[in-house]
Amino acid sequence: MLKFTENIELSKLTSIGLGGRAKLFCECDTDDKLAECIKYADENKIPFYILGGGSNTVFSDNGFDGLVIKINIRGIQVHNEFRDNVILNAGAGEDWDALVKYCVESSYTGLECLSGIPGSAGATPIQNVGAYGQEVKDVIMFVKTLDRRTMKPVMFSNEDCLFAYRTSRFKTIDKGKYIVTNVMFRLKINGEPDIKYKELDDYIKTKTDLYRLKECKGKLETVRNAVIEIRKSKSMVLDPADADSRSCGSFFVNPLLKEDELQKLKAVYEEIPVFPAGQYFKISAARLIENSGFMKGFTKNGAGISSKHTLALVNKGCTAYDLIALADEISAKVYEKYGVKLEKEPVLAGF
């Protein structure tokens, strides 16, 4: 049976700590309950919002005049273990970092560089979560979803998901059509960690010679601990004692530019760092923001930029309106100066 809560405070359900109240709230721990909850919303003509871990959502100060459905489908099952690979099935409501920790402790290689990221497993394929040289698209095998229209399960293969930099079909052409309920990963057993990110590689080298460690688990734990320490230094790990972590993580996506767009940018900002990304070129949103006059620690009306990471916007006693106003001001200035549009990474709900 579904259990609904009225007028729940949404600010307590997100890492940014903003938002008014939801008219109705319900947690769903099975696919059937999720389908039943959506059916209830449809029959009663109530708008609904799907909430995962709350680390990538900003709710309006007016709250959400409808039903907020929190996905709490749990469970980690090892479906198959053969040769040097393992197939792992995780419920969408599983805590992401707890899942990564489980994999590291089991000597399953492929997610260790994604340690310390807040949120739930079900959110990772939607925006193709990535950090320190790893992306979930590289290890996702299948994504199980609930079709919003038919209320039937639909499976997507890795190729079907149309993964790209920080995006997928679930964020673009099929936004709102499917709700992720399970994610299946193919990971290596006792594989060597592949360190592609220079900052991480340099940090590990100051601590140990990674490849002299004999056991895979020890290597993966070394990488995981290094990632978490780096993230902590940037306030990118949730910590009640760290005011700068009261955020959604990176608020802006690093822009991907075509060749002609890059040349236009370099005409006004020649020294901007450029990272090839397939047919595009990835540039630093943080550099654009800082060179547009918004430095670390900048604060306006209680909304601020983290003192440790330019891409993170922080709740320092602001309203959701103040936060979005600052984000829009930053975006407008960057576009005015460099002609580059910044894309907001968090989902804005109830605005």
CATH number at residue 269: 3.90.78.10
Q: How many domains in the chain? A: 3
250 labelled catalytic: yes
Which is catalytic among the residues 106, 250, 292, 306? 250
Instruction: Say whether pLDDT at 80 is over 90.
Output: no
Instruction: Indicate if 228 and 251 belong to the same structural domain.
Output: no
Instruction: Indicate if 46 and 17 belong to the same structural domain.
Output: yes
Instruction: Say whether pLDDT at 81 is over 90.
Output: no
What's the pLDDT tens digit per position in 206-236?
A: 988 887 888 999 999 999 999 999 999 999 9
Distance CA 262, CA 75 (A): 45
Q: Which of 72-76, 232-236, 313-317 has the lowest mean pLDDT?
A: 232-236
CATH number at residue 41: 3.30.43.10
User: Binning pLDDT at 50, 70 and 90, where does residue 328 land?
Assistant: very high
Structure tokens, 6: 């009225």
What would the mean pLDDT of 7-30 be, rounded to a whole number?
97
Which is catalytic among the residues 9, 36, 290, 345? 345
What's residue 294's pLDDT?
Answer: 97
What's the pLDDT tens digit per position in 144-184?
A: 999 999 999 999 999 999 999 999 999 999 999 999 999 99
Instruction: Indicate if 64 and 120 belong to the same structural domain.
Output: no
Question: Is 238 among the domain residues?
Answer: no
- Residue where a domain stops, chosen among 184, 205, 233: 233
Instruction: Indicate if 100 and 18 belong to the same structural domain.
Output: no
Instruction: Indicate if 171 and 87 belong to the same structural domain.
Output: yes
Of 327, 306, 103, the closest CA to residue 220 belongs to 103
186 labelled catalytic: no
What's residue 211's pLDDT?
Answer: 79
- Residue where a domain stops, chosen among 183, 210, 233: 233
Q: Which of 21-30, 68-77, 269-278 has the lowest mean pLDDT?
A: 269-278
345 labelled catalytic: yes
Question: Is 191 among the domain residues?
Answer: yes
CATH number at residue 91: 3.30.465.10
Question: Is 18 among the domain residues?
Answer: yes
Q: Which residue has the tokens 């979005």?
A: 324
With beta carbons less than 8 A apart as the criterion, state whether 66 and 37 touch. no
Q: Which residue has the tokens 């006693």?
A: 317
What's the pLDDT tens digit per position in 88-134?
A: 999 999 999 999 999 999 999 999 999 999 999 999 999 999 999 99
Instruction: Say whether pLDDT at 83 is over 90.
Output: no
What's residue 111's pLDDT?
Answer: 98
Domain of residue 309 covers 243-349
Q: Which residue has the tokens 């220079």?
A: 198
Question: Is 112 among the domain residues?
Answer: yes
Region of 263 (left: φ > 0; alpha: ψ -120 to 50; beta: rest) is alpha
For residue 82, give the amino acid letter.
Answer: F
Which is catalytic among the residues 166, 169, 231, 246? 166
What's residue 61's pLDDT?
Answer: 98
**What does DSSP assign to residue 112?**
G
The mean predicted confidence, pLDDT, of the chain is 95
Instruction: Indicate if 52 and 163 belong to the same structural domain.
Output: no
Rounded to a whole number of angstroms, the distance between the first and last alpha carbons of the chain is: 31
